[in-house]
Amino acid sequence: MKLVLIGDIHLYTLRVPLRRLLSRRAMAHANLLLNRRHHFNHGLLPAVIERARLLKPDHVLFSGDVSTSSLESEFQDFLDHARPLLEAAPCTLVPGNHDRYTFRSRRVRRIETLLGGLLPEGFPHVRALRPGWTLLALDSAVPNRFVSRGALGRAQLRRALEAIGAVPPDQALLVLCHYPCSLPDDVPSPWSRSLKEARALERALAACPGRVVYLHGHIHRPWRAATTEGGAAFECINAGAPCQIGTAWPLGQGFWEINLPDDPQGQLKTRHHALHPGPGHPSGQAVAADASRADGTDPPRAGRGPVEGRWRVGAGP
Ligand SMILES: [Fe+2]
Ligand SMILES: [Fe+2]
């Protein structure tokens, strides 16, 4: 079974009415104007979506933070961009903290309303993906006044722990949650940006009778790493931010292809797809990602003009 995992897209809207900035959104917007917009090129997104679609995945997983401050326009922009992929395969999305950024966005259930078909109807969401493989999707996104901390809440955590404990030894559990519950040693974990119940979740996953693969986003850097907790190990895959550009990932951090083996204890084959500067595809056809709009306006998508790249596929960072 082939899965695609896509992380923090963070579409944004530059022109926001003043009245809508009278909330925590003001913090996100200040960060957007001063910082974030210089590190994201959403002109890359069509190429990412098309690449994922061409892989013909059996299921697509979005690990959240598709928006920046939970505006309607940002969710609509996500739907517009992702539509070719959403129409090609079943998709499951868990919210990120930026998708429930303001208290009002939670009160009016904005993401549930606008992306309703992609979010499970309730959390924790448990479903069979294929024989031997179960998906456990968690909702860790809560608005905060000053920090970016996530929380599952007591009821969700209790039911998640029950689901984790119920996995038979010869089966596997795939967890999808925006926040990580365990980090590589070289990644800092500030209290203000972490999941409140991370330790409890990590302990339960390490004690799970079956195999565990934990998929998440939130930290904008892709990786695949094993974690050890109490001698037991499970694997974590961080999605990365496909439109975030920087020195290591000049054309975005790409996305993951994850192939679930028939045998739940078999080898998990992953491939990381990322665009790198180059004259074009191996086929000779260049990817052109032009972020500018036909009418000359920049919001809600931003970018840095046309770029060309070549897809590189590897075992992953
Ligand atoms: Fe996040
Ligand atoms: Fe994020």
- DSSP, collapsed to helix, strand or coil, labels residue 120 as coil
Q: How many CA atoms lie within 13 A of 292 on its CB side?
A: 7
Q: Residue 169 Cα, ligand 2 centroid: separation in angstroms?
A: 34
- DSSP, collapsed to helix, strand or coil, labels residue 12 as coil
Lookup result for tokens 């203000």: 192
Q: What is the pLDDT of residue 251?
A: 94
- DSSP, collapsed to helix, strand or coil, labels residue 316 as coil
Q: Residue 217 Cα, ligand 1 centroid: separation in angstroms?
A: 7
Query: Can you list the residues of the chain whose pLDDT is less than 50?
Result: 280-306
Q: What is the pLDDT of residue 36?
A: 81
Q: What is the pLDDT of residue 214?
A: 98
Q: How many CA atoms lie within 13 A of 299 on its CB side?
A: 13
Structure tokens at 250: 């000049």
Q: Residue 187 Cα, ligand 1 centroid: separation in angstroms?
A: 15
Q: How many CA atoms lie within 13 A of 180 on its CB side?
A: 28
Q: Residue 252 Cα, ligand 1 centroid: separation in angstroms?
A: 17
CA–CA dist 182, 228 (Å, integer) = 9
Ligand nearest to the CA of 11: 2
107: left (phi over 0), alpha (psi -120 to 50) or beta: alpha
The beta strand positions in 260-314, using DSSP E, are 269-277, 287-288, 308-314
Ligand 1 being an ion, which residues bring their Cβ within 5 A of it? 65, 96-97, 218
DSSP state of 77: H
Q: Residue 107 Cα, ligand 2 centroid: separation in angstroms?
A: 21
Domain ranges, residue 39? 2-314
Q: What is the pLDDT of residue 1?
A: 97
The number of distinct structural domains making up the chain is: 1
Q: Residue 146 Cα, ligand 1 centroid: separation in angstroms?
A: 14
- DSSP bridge partners of 99: none
The enclosing domain of 154 has a CATH number of 3.60.21.10
- Burial (Cβ within 10 Å: 0-12, 13-18, ≥19) of residue 79: middle
Q: Residue 46 Cα, ligand 1 centroid: separation in angstroms?
A: 22
Q: What is the pLDDT of residue 288?
A: 44
pLDDT tens figures, 214-237: 999 999 999 999 887 666 689 999
- Residue 25 near residue 143, CB atoms below 8 Å: no
Q: Residue 131 Cα, ligand 1 centroid: separation in angstroms?
A: 31
Q: Residue 171 Cα, ligand 2 centroid: separation in angstroms?
A: 31
Q: What is the pLDDT of residue 138?
A: 98
Ligand nearest to the CA of 150: 1
Q: Residue 286 Cα, ligand 1 centroid: separation in angstroms?
A: 32
The model carries a pTM of 0.90
Q: Residue 233 Cα, ligand 1 centroid: separation in angstroms?
A: 25
